[in-house]
Amino acid sequence: MLAAAAAILAEAGQPEVLRFWPRLSEGERRSLAAAVEQLDPAELRDHCRAAARAAALPPGHEPGPHSGPQTLQPLPPGVVGSAARAQPAELNRWRERGLQEIGEGRVAVLLLAGGQGTRLGVPYPKGMYDVGLPSGKTLYQIQAERIHRVRTLAAERTGRPCPLPWYIMTSEFTLGPTQSFFSQHGYFGLPQADVVMFEQRMLPAVGFDGKVIMEGMGRIAMAPDGNGGLYRALTDHGILDDMERRGVCEVHVYCVDNILVKMADPVFIGFCVERGADCGAKVVGKAYPTEPVGLVVCRGDGIYQVVEYSEVEVGATMQRRNPDGQLTFNAGNICNHFLTVAFLKAVAGEFEAQLKPHVALKKVPYVDEDGNCVKPEKPNGIKMEKFVFDVFQFSKNFAVWEVLREDEFSPLKNAESVGAKDTASTARRALLWQHYRWALQAGAHFLDHSNNRMPACTQLRETDDPPVVCEISPLISSAGEGLEERVKGREFHPPLLLTE
């Protein structure tokens, strides 16, 4: 056991991983040896060397895949569609096309849920988080109910039940708790066979000296390999074959933390399918010119990519405006992608190895030479992550669909603190404002304590709750549709909880 592990580590230049061996119990030795045997020595060596090189650069200059001189170009108008500018007839056509695709079983949704959620800081997967809605629903439940709804809408078109498989990429951190949560909740009423969980790979965290960090005497500090680990995980677990067996041709990929995500958004799918896109991204306009979001851009050679705000010269480029006053680089990436199965197969088979990791400096808890666990105050290690959007560069026909932030994007990233952005409060408010707007648009009236109709207030303010609490179950409406018959012309005392 020791000899095999030692040989791998010697080849990788990491023999120190075994330095606590004499102090480990038999069980700890077995599990450390098993963990080491999972590692490929050449990959580990390259990984640690790349991390050490990144650490040697001045702070803020860690190389990203897109570092270096580059000619960023705005998106050509021909690839961009806009929910705000499209004609109602077009929107309707794309919606119907999307529902047709879903109804025929050609669509799947794929959730990226392998992240550790370190900024939120809860000891369970983010999808299990309850942001404090009146219903108490968690992110996973909201998403599951949106799938139900879209399935129903699609089945109404085709006249037969429609499967909408939900693939969930997890990691060592999130797989077990996510499985138990779904099973405790009866898969939220979805057929269990249509919920497919699989696990992404993990990579060791590396110190600035290029040495693997030990989080315990017998445990390597491992972190998931980034949401771009998706492409290896698809191959590892035969997921693309599973999709093909089910007849799935198009996949909607999204992040767990966006409370407003439209599952298998029929309009987005219809738009991409009609354009013959192999890959597409939903974007929102930036909230302000230097907002720290990734931007979907075009490179000089007509290739698309997301540049992280940390990877571009902000300043002048980010402030640039078109003659009409619009920001020139304004396509904020919201991790909401359309990918055909054919494109995913090409990526998994041909291009995955070309994806370069992004470098992140992190605070990685470690064990000191006396065996004490230390929680560092400053970043002490490097995690290398691939990003899901780095495959845009391989697309032969890329499409961008621009949507309104208040309709589609409010991520839960951070723990609550004064002035913090993207917290449970901002996510809850975004959802409640949206449902309040839907109720008003459908003709509802709200009454105050004296039974007077309250004036409609449609001016969204991120820092305030809407004037009345109104929550609408995704089981009855996924995008504000179908509410007139329930609320039109009716008066309600808040709070209003519309359920099936």
In terms of CB distance, is 140 or 436 closer to ligand UTP?
Answer: 140
CB of 481 to ligand UTP, least distance (A): 26
Kindly report the length of the chain.
500
CB of 210 to ligand UTP, least distance (A): 22
Q: Take residue 252 and report the two structure tokens written for it.
A: 């909607």
In terms of CB distance, is 33 or 223 closer to ligand UTP?
Answer: 223
Which residues touch 391 (CB under 8 Å, ≥6 apart)? 228, 231, 279, 339, 343, 347, 351, 355
Nearest to 487 by CA among 434, 436, 443: 443
H/E/C letters for each residue in 440-492?
HHCCCEEECCCCCECCCCCCCCCCCCCCCCEEECCCCCCCCCCCHHHHCCCEE
In terms of CB distance, is 107 or 169 closer to ligand UTP?
Answer: 169
CB of 148 to ligand UTP, least distance (A): 21
In terms of CB distance, is 48 or 169 closer to ligand UTP?
Answer: 169
CB of 142 to ligand UTP, least distance (A): 14
CB of 111 to ligand UTP, least distance (A): 7
Which residues touch 58 (CB under 8 Å, ≥6 apart)? none
**Terminal-residue alpha carbon distance, the chain:** 58
CB of 387 to ligand UTP, least distance (A): 8
In terms of CB distance, is 118 or 192 closer to ligand UTP?
Answer: 118
In terms of CB distance, is 95 or 358 closer to ligand UTP?
Answer: 358
In terms of CB distance, is 79 or 205 closer to ligand UTP?
Answer: 205
Residue facing ligand UTP at closest CB distance? 115
In terms of CB distance, is 291 or 385 closer to ligand UTP?
Answer: 385
Q: Which residue has the tokens 């490179």?
A: 299
CB of 13 to ligand UTP, least distance (A): 25
Task: Tell me how crowded residue 440 is: count the other CB atoms within 10 A of its CB.
Answer: 18
CB of 333 to ligand UTP, least distance (A): 11
Nearest to 234 by CA among 349, 128, 386: 349
Q: CA 393, CA 301: separation in Å to the nearest integer? A: 10
CB of 258 to ligand UTP, least distance (A): 8
Q: CA 33, CA 21: separation in Å to the nearest integer? A: 10
In terms of CB distance, is 54 or 256 closer to ligand UTP?
Answer: 256
Q: CA 252, CA 279: separation in Å to the nearest integer? A: 10
Beta strands in 178-325 (DSSP E): 195-199, 202-204, 206-207, 214-216, 219-220, 222-224, 250-255, 279-284, 295-299, 304-307
Crossing angle of helices 266-274 and 88-103, in 10° steps, is 90
CB of 276 to ligand UTP, least distance (A): 28
In terms of CB distance, is 79 or 263 closer to ligand UTP?
Answer: 263
Ramachandran category for residue 247: left, alpha or beta (phi over 0 → left; psi -120 to 50 → alpha): left
Footprint of ligand UTP (CB under 6 A): 112-119, 126, 169, 171, 200, 224-227, 229, 255-257, 385, 413
The SS3 of residue 197 is strand
In terms of CB distance, is 107 or 202 closer to ligand UTP?
Answer: 202
CB of 383 to ligand UTP, least distance (A): 9
In terms of CB distance, is 217 or 264 closer to ligand UTP?
Answer: 264
The SS3 of residue 433 is helix
CB of 255 to ligand UTP, least distance (A): 3
In terms of CB distance, is 103 or 115 closer to ligand UTP?
Answer: 115
The SS3 of residue 65 is coil
CB of 427 to ligand UTP, least distance (A): 13
- Count CA atoms closer than 13 A to 315's CA, side-chain side: 3
Q: How many helices (H) and strands (E) does the chain have?
A: 14, 24
Q: CA 314, CA 179: separation in Å to the nearest integer? A: 42
Burial class (CB in 10 A: 0-12, 13-18, 19+), 351: middle
Q: CA 330, CA 407: separation in Å to the nearest integer? A: 17
